[in-house]
Amino acid sequence: MPDAEPLATSYQLSAISQIIAIVRKDIAAEVRTKEIFTAMFVFAVLSLVIFNFAFELRVASVAAIAPGALWVAITFAGVLGLNRSFVLEKDRGCLEGLLLCPVDRSVLYLGKMLSAIIFMAAMEVVALPLFSVFFNLPILILPLLPVVALGTVGFAAVGTLFAAMSVNTRAREALLPILLFPVLVPVLIGAVKASGAALAGNLADAANWLQLLATFDVIYLVIGLLAFEHVIEE
């Protein structure tokens, strides 16, 4: 009887290689077309510009409102990116090909989630310095980085699940935000509060909100792994 430990290790390595293959496929397709990143980046920059002019006219303390503006831009750009990612897979017939592959559905979920994280991170790398310039805030500070990272992971974990759910419907562009935003509220509240505390230098308060973010990230990740198989097969 074969040893269980080597078999488990071999399965883990196979799953990791499959996840990497899915991520590489998504990145290679995006490098050729640049459809997802371009849409996300343009939307995020336009949102920041609009918020900058609105706050300059109506809000005395920009620093008090800036965290909300930052996460509105990140969230809506992320929704656009997730939607385009799954729609392109569906329209090109790639989604059916992925489902025919002899891989566990959790591997597909983790691969698509990591792709979403990478695309959002690429957008944030460009958008955060622009946000710092527009709002005249020290946005590139160390305490803010884990906030953005955890917020992005939580968004991608639940967003990937709902994007897979809505892609097979006719009103997929409208259905995704309707399904996603009510569930995403805890992550958005934690991200906004933690960002505000980090920008204000209140590290203790930021750490408390980071714990909340990490907790919801784990919850959404587990739910996504368990539910993705049933969602993607419908």
Q: For the purposes of burial, counting CB atoms within 10 Å of the CB of 39, is it exposed (0-12), middle (13-18) or buried (19 or more)?
A: middle
The domain of 54 spans 4-233
Q: pLDDT by residue (tens digit) across 86-139?
A: 877 777 777 777 777 777 888 888 988 999 999 999 999 888 888 888 887 776
CA-angle at 34, arms to 33 and 36, nearest 5°: 115
State residue 54's pLDDT score.
78
Q: What is the CA radius of gyration of the chain?
A: 19
| Token pair in block for residue 1 | 């009887």
Per-residue pLDDT reduced to its tens digit, 132-163: 888 877 766 677 889 999 999 999 999 999 98
- The rounded mean pLDDT for the chain is 82
**Where does the pLDDT of residue 71 fall: very low under 50, low under 70, confident under 90, or very high at 90 and above?**
very high
- Looking at the structure of the chain, the number of domains it has is 1
Q: Report pLDDT digits (tens) over 173-226.
A: 778 888 889 999 999 999 999 988 888 778 888 889 999 999 999 999 999 988
**Separation between Cα atoms, residue 172 and residue 176, nearest integer Å:** 6
